[in-house]
Every structure is written in structure tokens, then in C-alpha cells.
Amino acid sequence: MKAWQDIGFEIEITGDGSPSLRLLASVDPLKDKGESMHHSGGAAAETNLIYGEPIAEILAKITKPKFLVVGLGLGYIEMVIARESLLAKRNAEDIASIASYESVPELREFFISWLQNQELHPEVKSTYDLVLEHVLKGSGVSAADVKSFLLVHFPEVRAVHGALYPEIAMEDQYHCILYDAFSSKTSPFLWEEDFLRRILKEGSAESSVLATYACKGSLKRALKDQGFEVIVREGFQGKRNSTQGRRQFPKM
């Protein structure tokens, strides 16, 4: 069974006790290791700050919401969608869709195997268990209910999409776009203005919200071009500002 190192990652425990993954290989020759998926101050806390609020808002305002997640990673955002849905008394069937994209095949496979309680390397299983523990901390929602919820939307590996690529055609229009891709140094084209503009044009519903940890000029220009109001928010623990784009939704 494969461990994290076998697929090019190492586990990091962040400041709030929740785990993240860091790429072993760096695109920067001056750095020994690659990019981390989360802020060192707290993977769960950062996810809740950047993505928890728009998820809860969409659930409160849209009857059958559609979610788009760019960057499955360890499944933090998907687990938060499940948690917030259950807190809002919404069943898995009340969510029209959760479309998640992930370029690393093993991350797709590991996540589904974990949801299905299949055998995994102990290090991998304990990482997902710890992620869910931190996502659910203080919520009163059970781990079993979250996994059951997510299995409705991700019953098999092919239910998680592979990598986004420059010519991809979006297959639906989403009310909530949660853009959690690696930075432009690691994933350059995902942050190019033309690509972002096309994804927003093809993939966003008339009333929609985009949330991301990033605050790039290309993203803000693409949002404005597609009729979104750009809201620059404070970043997590001193990190550069984060961004929300809102179209036909009032500010919180």
C-alpha cells in the first residue's frame, strides 16, 4: 500500500493541529521542498475562514446548490460542504452536485477508498481521520454522517474529476466556486486571466460566489470582466489578502 512519500508528498501538522501535505519536489531550484497545500498556521482554520462562509451562504439561499471545487487535495472543502449541509438540515440529495477536480490520481483514489472504509496505508488513513476530526470539531456532526453524505456524491473514483486543462469545457454552471488550486508557481495556467475568464463564463451560475485564498490581479480582472463584484478580504494569519467574487449576491 502506498504512503504519502510514495506519491510525492510529506505530511505536515499545522498550527491548529490539523494535517496538510507538502510536495517533496519543488519547482523553485532555490527551495529544497515544494509547496504546501495549506498555511502552516492551520489547515482546518484556513479552510473554514476562506470557504466555510460562502458555503453556508449558498446553502441558505439556493434550494438545490451546485458546488465546484478546484483542488480536492485532502478533501477539506468537500468535508466542510458536508458539515455545513448537515448543520443546515440538508440531505445529500438536497445538493444538486459537487464537482471536484484533482490532478493527482492517488489523491482521488485515496479519498474514495477512505470514504468507503477500504484498507489504506495506516499513515494515509490516519491523515484523513485527523482532517475530518478537525473539520467537525465543535459542530456536533458525526463523522459517519459526513462520510455517508459524501459517498452519495462520490460513490466511486471516477466521480472525482481529473486535472483541469486549458481547453476543458465546463459541464455545468455552479453557484459556489471554491478555487483552492496550488499557486501560480506550481500550477501556472490555472491562474492565467484568459483561462479564469472562460471558466467563469462557462461555469458560473447567474447568481454565484467564488472564494479563494489568493488575491491575484489576473483573477480580479477575470471576475470583473464576468460581472462579479470583487471583494478583497483579510488573508489567514497575516497571509496576503484572499478574494471573493459575488454576482447577484449581496455582501454578508
In DSSP terms, 67 is beta-bridged to: 98, 176
Domain that holds residue 103: 4-247
Residue 225 lies in a domain: yes
Residue 62 lies in a domain: yes
pLDDT tens track for 178-213: 999 988 888 889 999 999 999 999 999 999 999 999
CATH (domain of 230)? 3.40.50.150
Main-chain phi, psi angles of 99, to 5 degrees? -100, 115
Main-chain phi, psi angles of 228, to 5 degrees? -90, 145
User: Of the candidates 72, 132, 59, which has an alpha carbon nearest to the alpha carbon of residue 99?
Assistant: 72
Q: What is the DSSP string of 19-65?
A: EEEEESS-SSTT-SS--BSS-TT-HHHHHIIIIIHHHHHHHHH-SS-
What is residue 137's DSSP assignment? T
Residue 18 lies in a domain: yes
pLDDT tens track for 149-169: 999 999 999 999 999 999 999
Residue 252 lies in a domain: no
- 204-212, strands of its sheet edge to edge: 97-101, 66-70, 174-179, 204-212, 242-247, 229-233
Say how many Å lie between the first and final Cα of the chain, rounded. 45
Tens place of pLDDT per residue across the chain (252 aa): 999 999 999 999 999 999 999 999 876 766 778 899 999 999 999 999 999 999 999 999 999 999 999 999 999 999 999 999 999 999 999 999 999 999 999 999 999 999 999 999 999 999 999 999 999 999 999 999 999 999 999 999 999 999 999 999 998 999 999 999 988 888 889 999 999 999 999 999 999 999 999 999 999 999 999 999 999 988 777 667 899 999 997 665
To which residue does cell 498556521 refer?
41
> How many separate domains does the chain show?
1
To which residue does cell 505530511 refer?
11
pTM: 0.95
Residue 232 lies in a domain: yes
Residue 44 lies in a domain: yes
